Copies of this chain bind each other. A is one copy, B any other.
Amino acid sequence: MERIKKVTKDIPVIDREITKKTQEKLDNLTKPLGSLGRLEELAKQICGITGKVSPSLENKVIFTFAADHGVTDEGVSAYPKEVTAQMVYNFLRGGAGINVLARHVGAKVIVVDIGVAEDLKPDPRLIIRKIGYGTKNMAKRAAMIREEAVKAIETGIEIFNQELKNGIDIIGIGEMGIGNTTAASAIAASFTGKPVEEVAGRGTGLDDSGLKNKIEVIKKSLFVNKPDSTDPIDVLSKVGGFEIAGLTGIILAAAVNKVPIVIDGFISGAAALVAFKIEPRVKEYMIAAHKSQEGGHKIILEHIGLRPLLDLDLRLGEGTGGALGIGLADAAIKILTQMATFKSAGVSEKKE
């Protein structure tokens, strides 16, 4: 916990002077003032985070954390639990959605087993840092003990710091874990106070009766555990997941290292919400890539105060929407650093 406190305390304040300089630079480029809209906002945010007026986004990294959830015993997912491990192998072979979209935007995918329920075959491309073999069934008891949640966050911080040695200019966060929209829903309900019916969705494809059961299971989990919304680690440990905790650590470590963080969908959003509750300043380091089809995602983003860039009805997770968000961030920085100025191009400025 000391490590988390230290990292949290050290997150720097955004450099407003750099943001201002970036605005001036943008206003000299050959385009009507502000005409690239949110791309310009994005460029300013990234410059403010990194403290550079010409930042490089060469090293793009997506952290995809995988873990299992004991709550799948309650029949909350349309897919069987073993899919978590199967999809990790798919990530390692490069055949999943996240692999395709990460390649599309030139990002590296770091796959982490932070709590898959089975022992995975060793692979040089897989980081195995299990906190446990899946969480406990939160409908019956706490998903984790407090020490596990802390350890999972610290593991995220360590993994970020390890990868930082290879260079990281921007990150996306993603996840895989059958049952994890149930955990994300419980986290969202705990922190935002919204009814479970509003934060829970169909996940990978539940039918009406499946959704009804999922809502009951989430309500039961909240009743059994009574997470304390003023204590983020309490919420995370009681109704969270190992991958959500690990990504919370990634977010905190990225912020302290002035690295922009692109949030993916609902589960990544839940990790963002936990990080925001631990330290609200982390919000300024976050870029919301898209608005998921899971209704709870919108509630989380509004609660933190983030406006998503894309609205493509995505609900896959893994970091896929985050990859597309990284592509837009890249475009924004290229605009800032590659466009000609009115002066250099000999273009007349706006009439007075």
Q: How many copies does the complex hold?
A: 2
Chain B residues whose C-beta falls within 8 Å of the C-beta of A101 in the assembled complex: 331, 334-335
Instruction: Tell me whether B350 and A204 are in contact (CB under 8 A).
Output: yes
Chain B residues whose C-beta falls within 8 Å of the C-beta of A83 in the assembled complex: 347-348
Instruction: Tell me whether A330 and B95 are in contact (CB under 8 A).
Output: no
A37 within 8 Å of B (CB atoms): yes
Known: A30-B96, A330-B104, A335-B100. A90 touches B347 (CB 8 A): yes
Which of B36, B97, B334 has a CB less than 8 Å from the CB of A104?
B334
Chain B residues whose C-beta falls within 8 Å of the C-beta of A82 in the assembled complex: 348
A67 within 8 Å of B (CB atoms): no
Q: Which of A80-120 contact B (CB under 8 A)?
A: 80, 82-83, 86-87, 89-90, 93, 95-97, 99-101, 103-104
Chain B residues whose C-beta falls within 8 Å of the C-beta of A351 in the assembled complex: 78-80
Chain B residues whose C-beta falls within 8 Å of the C-beta of A347 in the assembled complex: 83, 86-87, 90
Instruction: Tell me whether B315 and A35 are in contact (CB under 8 A).
Output: yes
Which of B37, B79, B339 has a CB less than 8 Å from the CB of A100?
B339
Instruction: Tell me whether B32 and A205 are in contact (CB under 8 A).
Output: yes
Instruction: Tell me whether A316 and B86 are in contact (CB under 8 A).
Output: no
Cα A349 to Cα B205 with chains together (Å) = 12
Which A residues are within 8 Å of any B CB, using their own CB?
29-39, 78-80, 82-83, 86-87, 89-90, 93, 95-97, 99-101, 103-104, 203-205, 293, 309-316, 320, 324, 327-328, 330-331, 334-335, 338-340, 344-351
13 more contacts with CB within 8 A, not counting A86-B345, A95-B339, are A34-B205, A35-B204, A35-B314, A35-B315, A36-B312, A37-B312, A39-B312, A80-B348, A82-B348, A96-B340, A101-B331, A101-B335, A103-B334
